[in-house]
Structure 1
Amino acid sequence: MNYKVFIINLDTNPQRLASIAERCHEIGLPFERVSGVMGNQLTPEQINEVYDTETNLRRYDKKLNEGEIGCYMSHMSCWKKIVDEQLDFALILEDDILPRPQIVECLKRFETVSLDWDYIKLHNKKLKYISESKSLGSDMQLHKLAKLSSSGACQLVSYSGAEKMLAHALPISRPIDVDVQYWFERDLRAFAVSPSMTDSTQFESDIEKVSLTHRDLVKRRPIKRILLRTVYEVKIMMSRFNLPKFPKI
């Protein structure tokens, strides 16, 4: 299998890179740094190339802030690298978590798993609607489930998954961690692994920091939020009967 490990890191956060790099070296996990997109440094023209307010407000309950747009673009950079370099898959990490030692064994395991998958969550706080599980060995489980956790901190993305997500990425209309929860919109063969392969750090998320800064300036729409959530939950319930088949393990 031809794969790489990508760590998304903003140029303004060398301390985060140092922290996660130290852990990667400790556990023997080679990686490639991917420069994150600073949303607040994008020009209006650059934002307009990837973002449309009307689409955003139709599919989400608030206008995205610059940090959320930049974060989505950072993940897109990783997907493009997977396609351009013709990788079988990649492990994509954000720099505000630390990979656990078990992640090395997890990657070795996926070297022997068939590529009949698109997206696999490795950072899971709580798994919901699990319909079936399979052992990956070494106390690891691969889960078939309808609802993915809302985090983009740590995931495996295959070549086919990168192609699908790039094809449906623009215009950006939701935060990346929310958008991936709508896996059924792009026919993603999505799964989750337990236990979680990450530890938390003392660093808060850049997205959360930006969101807190702009919280008072963002006009939320509670009725729209309730409507979108209701429609989402209905689609999740329906998708439980049409989940992807497990890859060959």
Structure 2
Amino acid sequence: MRYQVLLINADSATSRLEQMKHQFSRAGMHFSRVVGVASADVSDELYQQVVDSSRNHRDYFHNLSSRDVATYLSHRQAWQELVNSGVDYGVILEDDTVLIDGFNELPNRIRDILVPWNMIKLAEPYKRERSTVYTHVGAATVVRYEVVPRGSCAYVLKRSAAEQLLARTETFFRPLDVDFQWWWEMGLNVIGLKPYPVKLSHRLGRDMRQAYMPQAKAQRRYVKLRHKAKFWWLNKQSSDSNPGDSTATLGE
């Protein structure tokens, strides 16, 4: 399978880019830079253009921040680059990640995965979610999650899934990693690869608590309760009927 490594990096984050260049050089791998959107680039006009505010108020429990919007737009640019490239899949990384020793074995691990997938989580930087062993590929373990972990710092995406995501997200109303959790709505079939080959760096300017904890933002409590109940029910129902379960035909 042909692949491309896509690194999201804003023009202002020059030190992060140098750090990632060093890591990739040490791993003996190449990447393509995707120019990321910075929070400061999200004008009121752009915000109104891409955020479905009415659905945000109705179906999500806090307003999206400029950082949420910048993250979403940056990843959409990576998905578009993946579609344009014509490769089979992309490894999409944010620029404050650390490549674990053996990261360069990732393409071999992916090649040997024979269960259905179109997204592979490569990191779990925040709350740990329960997972079950699905299969083994060499020294790595393929898992499925009860709830897809939050975080968008590192994942693999098939080109066909990138096309679907682009079509579904011309406007959006939830943070990107929350949309990943609602995988059945987004057309995703998510697995994880452990031990994770990537971790989030907290030396490069990201505060894990601020990044993960939306309670720092003004919340709509009734919407939050309804959102959580709906998620719990649909996640369970969708998981029970997921075509990627243990009874599914292997491959895709």
- Superposition TM-score tier, normalisation by shorter sequence: 0.7 to 0.9
How far apart, CA to CA, are the structure 2 residues paired with 1:20 and 1:147? Answer: 30
- Is the CA contact (8 Å cut-off) linking 2:98 and 2:198 kept in structure 1? yes
The reply on whether 1:128 has 2:134 as its aligned counterpart is: no
Paired residues for 1:89-108 under 5 Å: 89-108=89-108
Paired residues for 1:98-247 under 5 Å: 98-113=98-113, 116-125=116-125, 126-130=128-132, 132-137=133-138, 139-201=139-201, 202-205=203-206, 218-245=217-244, 247=250
Task: Provide closer, same or farther for how the CA distance between residues 9 and 209 of structure 1 changes in structure 2, counting only shifts above 3 A.
Answer: farther
1:207, CA displacement in angstroms?
9.6
What amino acid maps onto 2:205 in structure 1?
E
Task: Provide closer, same or farther for how the CA distance between residues 46 and 57 of structure 1 changes in structure 2, counting only shifts above 3 A.
Answer: same
Secondary structure of the corresponding residue to residue 165 of structure 2: helix
How far apart, CA to CA, are the structure 1 residues paired with 2:73 and 2:209? Answer: 16
Task: Provide closer, same or farther for how the CA distance between residues 20 and 206 of structure 1 changes in structure 2, counting only shifts above 3 A.
Answer: farther
How far apart, CA to CA, are the structure 1 residues paired with 2:98 and 2:163? Answer: 27
Unaligned stretches of 5+ in structure 1? none
Task: Provide closer, same or farther for how the CA distance between residues 170 and 177 of structure 1 changes in structure 2, counting only shifts above 3 A.
Answer: same
Deviates most, 73-82 or 169-178: 169-178
State the partner residue of 2:85.
85
- Is the CA contact (8 Å cut-off) linking 2:86 and 2:159 kept in structure 1? yes
Root-mean-square deviation (Å): 2.6
Unaligned stretches of 5+ in structure 2? none
How far apart, CA to CA, are the structure 2 residues paired with 1:22 and 1:75? Answer: 23
1:145, CA displacement in angstroms?
2.9
1:146, CA displacement in angstroms?
3.7
1:163, CA displacement in angstroms?
1.3
Q: Which runs of 4+ in 1 moved over 3 A?
A: 111-116, 206-212, 246-249
TM-score, structure 2 length as denominator? 0.87
How far apart, CA to CA, are the structure 2 residues paired with 1:110 and 1:129? Answer: 19
1:109, CA displacement in angstroms?
2.4
- Is the CA contact (8 Å cut-off) linking 1:94 and 1:153 kept in structure 2? yes
